[in-house]
Each structure stands twice: as C-alpha cells, then as structure tokens.
Structure 1
Amino acid sequence: MADERLKQEVDEYVDEVWEDVVEDIRSLVRIRSVEDLSHATAADPWGPACHRALRQALAIAERLGLEAHDCEGRIGYADLPGRSERYLATICHADVVPEGRGWTFDPFDVTRKDGCLVGRGVLDDKGPLVLSLYAAHFFVRRALRTGERLPLTLRAIVGSEEETSMRDVAYYLERHPQPEFLFTPDADFPLICGEKGVFQGRFCSVATVGGHDAPIESMDGGTVPNAVCGRAEAVVRKRAADLSGRERIDVTDLGDGRSRVVARGVGGHASLPEGTLNAIGLLWAYLLDAGVVPEGLVPFAELELRLCAQGFDGSSLGVACSNDRFGSLTLIGGTLRTEGGHLVQTCDCRYPDAIDAHALERALARQAQARGASFVVVGVKPPFHIDPESPELRCLLDTYDEFRGTTSRAKVIGGGTYARKFMRACAFGPHEPADPLPSWAGPEHGADEAIGEGTLRRALKIYIVSIARLMRLHAQDGRRNG
C-alpha cells in the first residue's frame, strides 16, 4: 500500500498533538459566534462575536506556524507558502447557529463524555476548522525538518458567515484567485460531490393576532430557518382549566384568563428532515382542535399544517419533484414569529435541478395567496455538482477508503456548504455516519451537538494524507502543463 511511511508519521503526529487539538477546539467553542447584525460595525461586519472567533482561529494558525490574514473581519486565511503561488485550500467556518433549547451540557464549552466531544460547533464547524489548521501544521513541521517546500501553497481559509448568507466567500473571491482545488470539512464522509439548491422564504399572515380580546395573543417557535422547529408556543386568551392536555403539549396558566401552550417536537437540520417532528404543526393542530383559532386565521393555520405537519416532500404545497442525480426535494417550516401583529413563518427547501427557484417562488406564492398569506423569497443558492470521477475526488475517495477498508461512492446531499461557491471543490467529512454514538449525542444544529473523538482523530489523518496526495497530483499536472 502506498505512503506507509507517511501514514506512520501522521499517526505519531496526531498522537502527539491531540490534547492541543481539543484545547484549541474548546477555545473556539467558548465564543458564542452567532451572527449579530444588530451590533455589526465596519470592523465587525457580522457582529463582534463572529470576528472574535475569526481572530481566535487565526491566532491558532499563527501559533502553528502559518501566515495568517484577517480580511477586514469578513473572512480570513492562513498560508504555508509553497514553491508556487498557485494554491490548494481547505475552508471551514468559525460562526455557529444559536444554541436553541434542550441542552443538558454547556453549549459553549467542550465536554468530554463517552468518547465524544460535546458543544456547539464541535461538529459544525469549529472542530473541523481546528483539524484543518493542524493538517497544515503537519506540513509546517515537515518543511522545517526537511527544508523542502510544498509544490503549491497550502491555504486554510476561515469563514465567518457560512450559517447565514456566505457573503464572506463572495468577498474573498472578489479579491483572490480561485484555488486549484478546495475541500471543506463541513459534511459527511465519504465525500460530497453535489448539493441540492437551497431556497428560503417567508409566509406572512394577512390576519392579525394580539389585538384587543383576540383569542391568540402571540406565537413563537424555532431557532433558525434552516432547522425543523423543535419547540413552539402560543399565548392564548383562554384559561388552562378549559384546555385539555395532550401528548407533546404542555399548558400553563398565566392568570387573567390567559394560558401558554407549548408544543414539543423533534428538531433537526432542514436538509435531513426524516425522523423530525415539527412543533409548529403540533401547535397549530392543537389550537384548531381546541377552538382557539379565530375564523379569519383558519386559512393560514391550514397553510401551516401543509408546511409543518404533512410530510417533507413538498407535495402538500404542490412542489414535489426528484431526479436521479440529486434525489427528492425537501421542504420544512423553520421559525414562527409574531411581527407587527402578523404571523411570519419561514420555510427552507432543498431542491434538485428538476425545478428552479422561479418555479418554487410561483408555486409557494400561489399557495400563500389561496390561504390568507403573502410570500417573499429570502435567499436562493442554486444546486451544485462536480464530476465524482475527477482526479481530485478520486484521490480523496481512495484515501478515505484506505483508512476505512471500504469501497465508497461520492454522494449528493441536501445541506449547503462553501463548496458550492468554488469552481473546483467538494465537501469531505468529518462526520462519519457509520460511527456509533451514544443515545444522548445530538446532531449539528441540535441540542447536545457531539462527535466522537475517534472520528475526529481519524479525519485529521485522512486530511493530512489527502493533502499530501493532492499536492503530488497537482505538481505532476504542473509539470505536464509546463
């Protein structure tokens, strides 16, 4: 088997640095780097905490011997200069989604339990970010020991707005050339060669809530638009004694003839809705059965049930479709808020190239108009695909299979990563669906987000060997093209 000496060196390196890796992950997780545009400034364009996490990541990179650059607080990168200014890159992000409810561990610290690391970002994407920096550090140490430079520059890009609009990468690409190739450790193994389109929008009720003697005072649910709502509540003008209990529904008396009704669902990422249970759908179904929903709001309630309680394939709203390359469309309801007396419901759709964003907008706007609502598009990211038989992707897959003893194929996912923003890129681990986790371990974007330490250790080894082979591959291409 090729590169046995390299892999032995990598094993020894990972054993040596692992405790430092964990502590550096902890230093990032302790920063609640959720986008905060209400406190954004020219120096902190995505908010102070996002910039603080970016600076911390770049400080780690500097300590590890890389040349770090903070690009006006929007994004950063750290280089190991090679013999050529052409570069290969990794990209991760230091921002996270809000913690949400339901944690049994401190979301903003790293807890070690049952062989796992737990905390917001250990999987998405602060843990992988630290892996990318230590992968580069391996080659820093090698260059110091041998005096040999890599054939291409190795760049670790540190994003800071991935969870929202990815404007950080747009800023970067306006000022820097495309990499020869890039992978992002922000998904699953074995390898992601394509991503469904991401379409997000907002339904707004025509009818109002919260007026004098209105039966519904307010409604609120969910944490972010790109996650199935796990908890939703309504404050209603009805005594708790007049509201019966139900599975997954809690009713609390607030006095003055008012009650709080809380629905408890099962949250999860919008790209993987199977197994979730949307709390917004549960809440609306209960309020309708309890006779709390006024007549003028019933059409909007029916729209909500179609979105949040009747499956995830979009058929209840007339947008279901699929194809062989990308699979089936998914559509979920994310957050529900009371804004200016109206109810605003966000939706998140992951779509194949069997449909386009304009057709989605038209179909959902028709559904809204027919059911007492308006609809606006919030954001669109078109589908992305790269040839899984390209030399770089074959290199990554073959390396993964060597470590796992498997024969793998590239996959297409519903999630959205930075890979879609680059000309030649893919998503490559570190999450390993085949690795067992304790029953308490939560997913990315969920409570008690966790990943196995063994999974991360193996991923770091895979990344180092993959980078060495990609460098070799592109050095050969450069000689042929020269």
Structure 2
Amino acid sequence: MANNDQLKHDIDAFVDRVWPEVLEDIAELVSHRSVEELDRAEEGAPWGPGPREALDEALCIADRMGLNAHDCDGYLGYADLPGVSEKQIATIAHVDVVPEGPGWHTDPYKMEVRDGWLLGRGVIDDKGPAVLSLHAARFFAERVEETGERLPYTLRVMLGANEETGMGDVDWYLENYEQPAFLFTPDAEFPVCCGEKGQLSATFRSPEVAGGAAANEPAAIVSLDGGTVTNAIPREAQAYVRADAAKLPEAEGIVIEAACDGLVHLTAHGIGGHASLPAGTKNAIGMLCDYLLENGVFSEAQRPFLELEAQVMGSTDGSTLGIDATDDIFEPLTCIGGTVRTTADGRFEQTVDCRYPKSTTSEAIAERLADVSASHGCEFVLGNTVPPFYVDPSSPEIQTLVRSYNEYTGRDTQPFTIGGGTYARHFANAASFGPEEPEAETPEWVGQMHGPDEGVNEEQLRLALKIYIYAIAQLMELEL
C-alpha cells in the first residue's frame, strides 16, 4: 500500500505539472476538422486530409514526449515505450470526428474553456481522451528515463483515424500487426465496459416520388433532408414542399417559411444525441414527417414512404418495427433514423442505426426490416453488421481497471455493457474505460458528443488522466 501511495503522490504531481500542456495539446487537435472525406483520399491519407492532419498532430505530440512514434500510411498511428517484454499493453483512441452539424454557439474547431468546461468538437469524443493516453505514456517515459528501469511490457499508444465511420483503420492494423496482450480504449464511460451491443445499419429507399405534384394533387414534397451522420439522432430536418404557407398550421418545433417558386420551406428542430443513447432526444426527421402526414402535405405516391417514416420514428426500441429485443447482459435494442436525403433521381433515402443484444441476430433484424420496407413499396439496403462483443467481467484485466477506478473515486462500481461501439470490439482482449462520468451534472449550455456544443468537464479529464496512469501501472504487474 505504501508503494501505491507514493505512486499516487507522483501521479498527482505529474498531472499538476503537465496540465497546461494537456490543454494546449487538446486545443491543437480540436483545431483540425478531421472528418472523413473519401472523395479527397490519396496515398498516405486514406480517410481524407482532415484525419491525416489530426494524426500528424497527435504523432508530433508523441514524438515530443520521447515516445517512438510511427505513421501507418495514414490509416492510423502508434507510439511505443519499449518494455522488457515485447508483449504489449495498449491503449487506442481516435482523432477523427463526426461533422460539426448545426446549432453550435461556439466555433466547433476552436476549443473554448468556460467555467471549468472544455467546448469543441472532439473534446470528449475522442481527441481529449487521445491526449490523455499520450500523457499517461509520457508519465512512464519520464520514469524510465529517470530510473533506467524499463516497464515489464511494452506500452503502445494507438491513434486511430477512422473510428466514426467504419473503423477501417483497425481492420488494416490487425492485418499487419499482432494483437496486444490487453488493450483499453478511453472512449466510453467509467468504470469499465466489458460488452457492446451488436450493430446494424441499413437504408430504406423510396421509388421515384420526390418533386412536383400532379395536376390534381396540389401538395407534394419536393425534397427532404435531415441529419448529419447515420449514428446520431438528428436535431434538425427540413423539407421544401408545394403548399400554401398561409394555410399550414403552426406546430411546436416546426418553422414555416415561404420560399421562391411557390414552395414552402419547413424546418424541424428536435433534440439530437448519440444513436446508442436515445433517451431524452427528439428526432427532427420524425417530427417533420409527422407534420407532413398530419397536415396532408404530400402526394399520394409519397404517402407510403411517410408512413414508413412514422413506423421507423415511432419508437427508439424497435417495437414499432417489430424488432424489439432484450436479454440479461445488455440493455434493450435501440433503433433510430439517422439521416434522410433526396437523391438526384427523385428518391427519398432514410438510414437507420440499430444496436441489439445477444438475444437476437442481425439476420433476424434485417429480414424483418426488409419485410416492413416492402410493405411500403420501398427498397431495403442492408449496410454494415457487427455482432455483439463481450469479455468476462471477472478477468484479471477487467478487475484491475475497475479496482483502479474505485480506488481513485472511493466508489464501489462494477463492469457494465453499452449500446455504443468502440475499438474494443475489434480486439481479442479489450475493454472501453472512461473517461465519461454518466452521473455528472452538465450545464444546459454544454452539449453531448456528436451534437452541437460538445463539452467535457476539465476536472473530470484531470481525474481520468490520473486513473489511466494508475491503471496502466497496475496492469504492468499482471501475468499476461
């Protein structure tokens, strides 16, 4: 216990000393709009210029700390602190982000510190945690330099660049590198997540029904557009319709504006959030489609798609689609509509994101969704599917993480499972480990990850850095 007390004292002193640099490093990473742009991809930048720039920044930070930084052709990067053994204890965070989307009250790519909170795209998902992982490795690099004693295992800090849109970075990594003995990703909630729901994405595609109305149908939807990414609940959606603006009734959250060429511009304002956490959100696409249906603002050819939208948005547990499920390991299934678009050939396309427990399968979900789609005269296109991920919560590695968190917080917590998807599910022995605190109070002006005004409490990050350093030290004492 005495050694642990000294370790904690050293950790406290280290975090106090380096914290100004931590904030500077987070701000530098946030300044890069590291959103995937495959149409601008090139050799060395497979995810586009933004992720490439952010990865370069992160590797420069690692190099400055004296870690052995490596660029993996732009797919991702890593920085090593060699140990006595080549076996690795690793961390992995990501430097790519979702698009900023509407509704910000600050510059999303200029980090702002306000009343003890950091604001900016990526401060919590996942650029802030990426910087914490680098500074955790810095703590051990300085100790090795001071004492000359190497760690029992090699410490590898991995920096992903494609987590938000497919995790092709880790697919590439695992084709070219061996698995670490254990890995955690700072990209979820504390204390430690040992399981993640399965995932399924899909698209409902209407026939060619968008555009002008027939002569005997004065109302019609010319275009629908809403959401920024498929794995987030949209806070805004809009439509251009052929209708009389003066005759359209007011409705909560719906803005009605006359537009040119006899069109009306409708905008729905909801409450956005992450696809895996729909509680407390309000899907703007659902609000808009409900308004159109209730007020007859559609052509008859467009009715089936709107009725399909009502079924998709009618619940967040999949019950209105007939795919609801639960079990004794995971929370119930979630299913949300993420984006709606109007294609050049006059179709409406609605994406859905499902997170499902072990009691069902992607095959069963896809079969049911295809039937629902067909019953509304629409095409169903299955996207990515990923099976559920689960690690024994009693394993020494998971228990070490939980114990480290509990020691620093004085709490008595246990491992849990989530609906979100992290890098952990790609590795044989892994978990997600903070830094979010689910019970922490958040001011109204601070937004969630994937939403506007994304923010994180500064003291929360300081504590997380201490926990990460302490947990890595404890992991280094295990027999792996």
Query: TM-score, with normalisation over the residues of structure 1?
Result: 0.97
Q: Is structure 2 residue 435 aligned with structure 1 residue 430? A: yes
8 Å Cα contact 1:321-1:354 kept in structure 2: yes
Give distance in 1, aligned partners of 2:291 and 2:208. Answer: 19
SS in 1 for 2:24: helix
8 Å Cα contact 1:81-1:153 kept in structure 2: yes
**Deviations 1:452-476 (Å, cap 9, x if unpaired)?**
0000000000000100110111xxx
Deviation at 1:318, TM superposition (A): 0.9
Q: Is structure 2 residue 124 aligned with structure 1 residue 120? A: no
8 Å Cα contact 2:45-2:52 kept in structure 1: yes
Map of 1:180 onto structure 2? 181
Give distance in 1, aligned partners of 2:415 and 2:208. Answer: 47
8 Å Cα contact 1:111-1:117 kept in structure 2: yes
Code of the residue aligned with 1:462 in structure 2: it is I
Q: Is structure 2 residue 3 aligned with structure 1 residue 8? A: no
SS in 1 for 2:403: helix
8 Å Cα contact 2:213-2:242 kept in structure 1: no
Map of 2:386 onto structure 1? 381
Q: Is structure 2 residue 322 aligned with structure 1 residue 318? A: yes
Map of 2:413 onto structure 1? 408
Greater Cα shift, 292-301 or 420-429:
292-301
Aligned counterpart in structure 2 of residue 280 of structure 1, from 282, 285, 306: 285
Code of the residue aligned with 1:356 in structure 2: it is T
Map of 1:54 onto structure 2? 55
Map of 1:394 onto structure 2? 399
8 Å Cα contact 1:313-1:329 kept in structure 2: yes
Map of 1:355 onto structure 2? 360
Give distance in 2, aligned partners of 1:120 and 1:381. Answer: 26
SS in 2 for 1:154: strand
Code of the residue aligned with 2:271 in structure 1: it is V
Map of 1:203 onto structure 2? 204
Alignment of 1:30-41 (within 5 A): 30-41=31-42
Question: Unpaired segments of 5 or more residues in structure 2?
Answer: none
SS in 2 for 1:400: helix
Alignment of 1:248-267 (within 5 A): 248-267=253-272
Deviation at 1:132, TM superposition (A): 0.2
Question: Unpaired segments of 5 or more residues in structure 1?
Answer: none
Aligned counterpart in structure 2 of residue 246 of structure 1, from 248, 251, 260: 251
Give distance in 1, aligned partners of 2:395 and 2:305. Answer: 48
Map of 2:150 onto structure 1? 149
Map of 2:347 onto structure 1? 342
Give distance in 1, aligned partners of 2:435 and 2:66. Answer: 24
Q: Is structure 2 residue 161 aligned with structure 1 residue 160? A: yes
Q: Is structure 2 residue 300 aligned with structure 1 residue 295? A: yes
SS in 2 for 1:155: strand
8 Å Cα contact 1:207-1:297 kept in structure 2: no
Map of 1:228 onto structure 2? 233
Deviation at 1:381, TM superposition (A): 1.4
Query: TM-score, with normalisation over the residues of structure 2?
Result: 0.97
Q: Is structure 2 residue 371 aligned with structure 1 residue 370? A: no
Code of the residue aligned with 2:375 in structure 1: it is A
Map of 2:454 onto structure 1? 449
**Deviations 1:113-170 (Å, cap 9, x if unpaired)?**
1211000000000000000000000001001111110011100000000001111001
8 Å Cα contact 2:212-2:242 kept in structure 1: no
Code of the residue aligned with 2:327 in structure 1: it is N
Code of the residue aligned with 2:36 in structure 1: it is E
Give distance in 2, aligned partners of 1:44 and 1:148. Answer: 37
Give distance in 1, aligned partners of 2:462 and 2:439. Answer: 15
Code of the residue aligned with 1:425 in structure 2: it is A
8 Å Cα contact 2:331-2:419 kept in structure 1: no
Give distance in 1, aligned partners of 2:331 and 2:190. Answer: 18
SS in 2 for 1:198: strand
Give distance in 1, aligned partners of 2:191 and 2:362. Answer: 29
Give distance in 2, aligned partners of 1:61 and 1:226. Answer: 30
8 Å Cα contact 1:211-1:341 kept in structure 2: no
8 Å Cα contact 1:297-1:372 kept in structure 2: no
**Deviations 1:174-219 (Å, cap 9, x if unpaired)?**
1111101000000000110100011100000124101466721111
Code of the residue aligned with 1:104 in structure 2: it is H
SS in 1 for 2:13: helix
Give distance in 1, aligned partners of 2:223 and 2:192. Answer: 44
8 Å Cα contact 1:227-1:270 kept in structure 2: yes
